[in-house]
Amino acid sequence: MEIKELRAFVTLAHKLNFTKAAAACFTTTSTLSRIIARLEEEVKCSLFYRDNKIVRLTQSGEIFLKFAEQTLDSYMQLQIDLKHLDNPLFGKIRLYCTVTASFQLLPKIINKFRALYPHIEISIETGDAANAMNKIQENEADIAIDAISASLPKDITTITLAEIPLVIITPVVMPQNWYSLKENGKLDWNKVPIIAPKKGELRHSLNTWFEVNNIKPQIYAEVAGNEAIVSMVALGIGVALIPLAVLEASVNKEAIKILEYANNINSLNVSLCVHNKI
């Protein structure tokens, strides 16, 4: 098996979609299918369950994924060791991300980076995810973690870190006047106050959710930062759409319940972003 085949396998294992994985590998779905078939023939077992609607790893695929990731990590380390054996890199990198990303996604990245480049200083700034792309384009950060969209600027290169589902959250106890008089136990979305992000990909996702569900929202407040949105919902001020990872990391999660998963809109593609000029 070849390194490029292992990369293709890992990409498909994370995206679980042949079309998206093929695009990320700059190849066609038929070529990707042949690569997976060759790997399965070589290891003498099926790595994926797949039909017209679903793609998922088999138990053997889960084991092979660990092997593939370890092999790719070792290969990258070998390349770096050989390249920088007599010429180690020095300098400073400015990284921008949300508070949630700083302790959910960064540790694994930073630990690996520090092992590879021990002489490079890392400066981390946290803030609203909606500002991440501007930070890069205005040269206020070298790298950012952001939820990217289809309209990503052409001068930005990304690496997907996680696909995070979106959830509608409410206070555990809600006022009676939020409920519909006609439909017992259901919210009246014409009365429910919405806590919305000011801008960014999450605001776009929220607007899409309203459109898909034919809701004319009552925006109570526009807030910068997902953590602040969760806090306002916990205080009983309104309802919000947030990434599940933000709720799981929140100190206020006991005061909040998930009303529903927003399955009719796309999950957030949280990626490492860098300007092509770097």
pLDDT digits (tens, 9 = 90+) for 233-249: 999 999 999 999 899 88
Residue 6 in this model has a pLDDT that exceeds 90: yes
Count of structural domains within the chain: 3
Altogether, the residues listed in the chain come to a count of 278
Q: Which helix (H) or strand (E) holds 220?
A: strand 218-223
* 238: helix, strand or coil: coil
- Domain containing residue 97: 86-161+269-275
The Cβ-side half-sphere exposure at 201, using a 13 Å CA radius, reads 23
pTM for the model stands at 0.62
The answer on 95 and 60 residing in a single domain is: no
**Which among 272, 83, 73, 58 has a CA at the least distance from the CA of 159?**
272
> From the CA atom positions of the chain, what is the Rg in Å?
22
The CB density around residue 221, as the number of other CB atoms within 10 Å, is 15
Residue 45: which CATH number? 1.10.10.10
Q: Which of 38, 53, 82 is the endpoint of a domain?
A: 82
pLDDT digits (tens, 9 = 90+) for 264-276: 888 888 888 998 8
Residue 177: which CATH number? 3.40.190.10
pLDDT digits (tens, 9 = 90+) for 197-222: 988 888 999 999 999 888 888 999 99
pLDDT band for 88, please (50, 70, 90 cuts).
low
Structure tokens at 194: 């919405």
The answer on 257 and 170 residing in a single domain is: yes
The answer on 218 and 192 residing in a single domain is: yes
The answer on 90 and 78 residing in a single domain is: no
The answer on 246 and 187 residing in a single domain is: yes
Among positive and negative, which fits the CA dihedral 66, 67, 68, 70? Answer: positive
